[in-house]
Chain A
Amino acid sequence: MTTERPLRRPKRAHAAAGGRILAAGLSASAALALVGAMAGPTPATPTGAPAAPTVVRRTSGSPASATAEPAPAVTPTAAPPVTTSQAS
């Protein structure tokens, strides 16, 4: 469930690849353009996600509480369904 893998802690941004930053399927010039395009909008982050560069740590192995985002209250109904939640 949790890993015993030692944590990697790059000392500086991008140091892990010798200063190279790769862009998915792009040339170097396109990658630079992408950096400019991506640096503007701030991505929507899940609750509690850090906004600064970070290295992910091991999990505690215990599930966290799900009460931070309460589930919607549903009610039984006899109305015809609009859709089904088929299993994935």
Chain B
Amino acid sequence: MTVTHPAARSLSQARRRAMGSDAHVLVVTDDDHIDPDGLLAAGWARIGDLESRWSRFRPDSEVSALNRHGGAPLIVSVDTFRLVQHGIAAWELTGGRFDPTVGAAVVAHGYDRDLPELLRRTAPVGDVEPAPGLAGTWLDPGLNVVTLPSGVSFDPGGIGKGLAADLVAAALLDAGAAGALVNLGGDLRAAGQPPDACGWTISLPDPLHPEGELARFALPGGAVATTSRLRRRWRTTVGEAHHLIDPATGRPADTDTVAVTVIAAHAWRAEALTKALFIAGPDELARRPDIHAIVVTADGRRHTTPALQATLR
């Protein structure tokens, strides 16, 4: 669908499933020589390529190969090297609260298949241990060689979608888009020119009342990520589980927090900060004025940084 805007910019968009989530790609064009449908096709192709490299559910993905070869150096593609680099950066940024090595704990809780299949059964729970962390990972950026410590597996989790949104948005600008927004399951990145002078209007659904809206704001560019324990949850033999694992315990985080949204410059960073705030709980928000976030707790209260207070509805 193409919508003509007064500023001679055209907005084209398409939605489909990708990376196990609902995905939405929008491109702004201001040049008649640029084919917006071609841009969208290129965007979906790039997303598909990243998913094929990063999915832990595909045995032929590079991430699966990395996890099979813990303790041994492995040459990976530039994209997968970037993914590991950003996973480490996120782990360090959050003091370990975002941890891409929680994969074993997630699998121990039964999340070893994609969600639709997981929801059809009661998952057995295996031995659970704290996440081992990324200390000891060896990187050679000259050759794109990654060596994970033996016994450590890398789970891209949400940062895979966040970084993919960053990379695909940049690729769309390189391909001729005046502006682009890539939304992969709530991890969204806007880059370049928005469709109008106000920016990209983003809506946040209320996690406790999905038919309602928590906030609406105009984003000039940058990223928004949202995570919730109400979305990916399933039955286990020891009760209900969700996918937000506390690395310190290896168990689903036990917190009053229901959902967290973070606005940041890049989607990988926003995603990492959502996970860290979710684990830390709403009190952390008062200690982190440098983060722009909205935290919703089970009692329905909304905790925000001052910059976002006015966007609440």
With A53-B141, A84-B202 known to touch, is A46 a contact of B86 (CB < 8 Å)? yes
Contact B207 A35 (CB under 8 A): no
Contact A35 B201 (CB under 8 A): no
Q: B192: which A residues are within 8 A, CB to CB?
A: none
Q: Does B176 belong to the interface (CB within 8 Å)?
A: no
Contact B85 A49 (CB under 8 A): yes
Q: A35: which B residues are within 8 A, CB to CB?
A: 75, 143
With A17-B71, A74-B311 known to touch, is A67 a contact of B227 (CB < 8 Å)? no
Which of B75, B85, B207 is close to A46, meaning CB atoms less than 8 Å apart? B85
Secondary structure type dominating chain B contacts: mixed
Contact A61 B73 (CB under 8 A): no
Q: Does B198 belong to the interface (CB within 8 Å)?
A: yes
Contact B95 A64 (CB under 8 A): yes
Which of B69, B145, B198, B204 is close to A84, meaning CB atoms less than 8 Å apart? B204
Alpha-carbon distance between A44 and B142 when the two chains are bound, in angstroms: 12
With A1-B96, A13-B140, A87-B207 known to touch, is A59 a contact of B82 (CB < 8 Å)? no
Number of interface residues of A (CB under 8 A): 71
Q: B149: which A residues are within 8 A, CB to CB?
A: 5, 8
Contact A85 B224 (CB under 8 A): yes
Alpha-carbon distance between A80 and B203 when the two chains are bound, in angstroms: 9
Q: B303: which A residues are within 8 A, CB to CB?
A: none
Contact B86 A62 (CB under 8 A): no
With A17-B73, A85-B186, A87-B259 known to touch, is A38 a contact of B144 (CB < 8 Å)? yes
B18-26, B40-48, B104-112, B117-125 - the one binding chain A: B18-26
Q: B311: which A residues are within 8 A, CB to CB?
A: 74-76
Which of B13, B202, B218, B232 is close to A85, meaning CB atoms less than 8 Å apart? B202
Number of interface residues of B (CB under 8 A): 107
Alpha-carbon distance between A49 and B228 when the two chains are bound, in angstroms: 29
Which of A1, A6, A49 is close to B247, meaning CB atoms less than 8 Å apart? A1
Contact A1 B307 (CB under 8 A): no
Apart from A14-B73, A66-B269, A84-B202, 20 more pairs, CB < 8 Å: A10-B147, A13-B73, A17-B73, A38-B75, A46-B85, A49-B85, A58-B135, A61-B95, A63-B93, A69-B264, A72-B220, A72-B263, A75-B217, A76-B216, A79-B198, A83-B202, A85-B226, A86-B205, A86-B226, A88-B185
A residues contacting B by CB (< 8 A) are 1-3, 5-8, 10, 13-14, 16-17, 20-26, 31, 34-35, 38-39, 41-67, 69-88
B residues contacting A by CB (< 8 A) are 11, 13, 21-22, 24, 26, 60, 62, 65-66, 69, 71-78, 80-82, 85-86, 88-89, 91-97, 99, 130-145, 147, 149, 158, 161, 181, 183, 185-188, 195, 198-205, 207, 216-222, 224-228, 230-232, 247-248, 259, 261-266, 268-269, 271, 273, 276, 288, 290-292, 307-308, 310-311
For this complex, 22 residue pairs linking A to B, each with C-beta atoms less than 8 Å apart, are: A17-B71, A21-B75, A22-B74, A24-B66, A48-B89, A55-B136, A56-B138, A59-B92, A61-B96, A69-B265, A71-B264, A74-B219, A74-B308, A76-B218, A77-B199, A85-B186, A85-B202, A85-B204, A85-B205, A86-B186, A87-B231, A88-B161
